[in-house]
Amino acid sequence: MPSVQRFQPPDGGYGWMIVISSVLITSSITPIVQCFGLIYEKPFKEADISATQISFLLHLYNSIMCTFCFVAGPLLKKFSFRQVALAGSLAVSVGVSATYFSSRYEYLLGTFCIFIGIGQGLIIQSVSLAINTYFKKRLTLAMSYSVTGTGLLPIVTPQVTNLLLANYNTQGTVLILAGISLHSLAGALLLRPPYRKSKPNRENVAADGTADEVRCLIKDELKLSVTSKIKALLNLELLKESSFVILIVGMSISYVAELNFNLINPFVLAELTQLNRDDVALAMSIQASGDITGRLLIPLISHRLHLPAKHMYLTTLIVSCIGRQVLISFCDTRIVILTISILVGLAKGARAVFQSLVLPEYINIERLPVATGFLMILNGVLSIAIGPIIGFVHDYTDTYIYALQTASLLSMGCVVLWLLDQLVRRVCRSRSHEEQQQTTIS
């Protein structure tokens, strides 16, 4: 019976190569998504593609990505993170390469939404597991390097994409991005699995337990019913906790609203503010600079002041809503638009950090993977259910003003929902305390 030597996270060594690999993989596959609006703004306009159709396409991609983030969990139990990352990288590369052949809306539903969505979902979980495997004590530092390295590329990507579009048109630009996406395969190959199986050894068998004991354990495991296994795996008891349900519903609604704004932002800048393509690319680069600053600076301030992640997450939503309102009010002033891009980027970057910290503050580590799975599934469902509504509002009103206000309304829905939940729980605790005091006096 083969024995498996347990792997101790080195907190360095080859772990830094894992961090570099994660940056290489993520940086190779994100340009097509980040600059999708910049690349297809003109072809979609010429083809008379409505905002509802654009919104549906982008949210279908996101829904598939979220679904396969959840699916990747069971896959990573059977296969190594290198194998799953290779499969995801191959799917993205095929999707981007296939996108070269046509800019038709129906065709993009298959190449962009399905292939790239599946690939990115698998990659996100694989890269995260790889870093968590190689780091323990220095995990925060490793994650910070990975996120920062990935966040630096979007600062220059819009400018490079704009230059490519000016020289090679849409198809040529996509072909070059397809070549870049192939680098993710090299990055995935560098994700070396840490576990090594040793040769069969009787001493190891004796140390681990007798063969009879192993057989007994297997028989006991087989006695568990399928229903019991599903309940144990999914931990459905979480859904009985109203506070948890309110937490993930609020996060999902705001996630969909903010994601919608981020994805359609190039279309908003081109139509609502009448910026040319060079200025749209400049605004996206400025927003990316604010994004990386928000990821690094604001969480540090929050840590120093001991501010809860939940409160900081709500603050970023409020700041995003203010930024959109300013954009609407001063949509004809170029300097204001470029300035507000910094504010929107700061809120976006900080929100990306705090949304990953809200659940760990509420859920213990044993239930966190299941809770995250529920959140990802809900993100995917609401993305395809609510996301296109914002595009429909644009088509119905023929302006992005009301579409942006709809996004803000959804985000503020999360703020109101969480504040009401906190108020109700505080009132309940107060009443319970009063009843205990009365019981003690009696």
Please indicate, yes or no, whether residues 347 and 243 belong to a single structural domain of this protein. Answer: yes
**Quick check: 131 and 146 in contact, CB under 8 A?**
yes
- Give counts: helices (H), strands (E), the chain: 19, 0
Cα-Cα-Cα-Cα torsion 22, 61, 373, 231, nearest 10 degrees, comes to: -130
Please indicate, yes or no, whether residues 133 and 274 belong to a single structural domain of this protein. Answer: no
Count the Cβ atoms, other than its own, within 10 Å of residue 330. 15
116: domain range?
18-194
Q: Which residues pair with 197 in a beta bridge?
A: 4
Q: Is residue 220 part of a domain?
A: no
Q: What CATH number does the domain containing 351 carry?
A: 1.20.1250.20
**What confidence score (pLDDT) does residue 90 get?**
94
Distance (Å) of CA 377 to CA 26, 305, 380:
22, 33, 5
Q: Is residue 118 part of a domain?
A: yes
Q: State yes or no: pLDDT of 207 exceeds 50.
A: no
* 212 exposure class (CB count in 10 Å sphere: 0-12, 13-18, 19+): exposed
Q: State the pLDDT confidence band at 217, using cuts at 50, 70 and 90.
A: very low
Residues 333-385: tens digit of each pLDDT = 888 888 999 999 999 888 887 887 787 778 775 666 677 778 888 888 888 88
**Quick check: 353 and 301 in contact, CB under 8 A?**
no
**Quick check: 405 and 328 in contact, CB under 8 A?**
yes
Q: State yes or no: pLDDT of 83 exceeds 50.
A: yes
Q: Is residue 8 part of a domain?
A: no
Highest mean pLDDT among 47-51, 108-112, 179-183, 223-227: 179-183
Domain count, the chain: 2
Please indicate, yes or no, whether residues 319 and 184 belong to a single structural domain of this protein. Answer: no
**Quick check: 348 and 315 in contact, CB under 8 A?**
no
Please indicate, yes or no, whether residues 363 and 421 belong to a single structural domain of this protein. Answer: yes
How far is C-alpha 236 from the geometric centre of its chain's CA atoms?
23
**What confidence score (pLDDT) does residue 218 get?**
45
Distance (Å) of CA 290 to CA 298, 347, 421:
11, 8, 32
Q: State the pLDDT confidence band at 263, using cuts at 50, 70 and 90.
A: confident
* 440 exposure class (CB count in 10 Å sphere: 0-12, 13-18, 19+): exposed
- Both tokens assigned to 404: 């942006």
Please indicate, yes or no, whether residues 243 and 363 belong to a single structural domain of this protein. Answer: yes
Q: Is residue 93 part of a domain?
A: yes
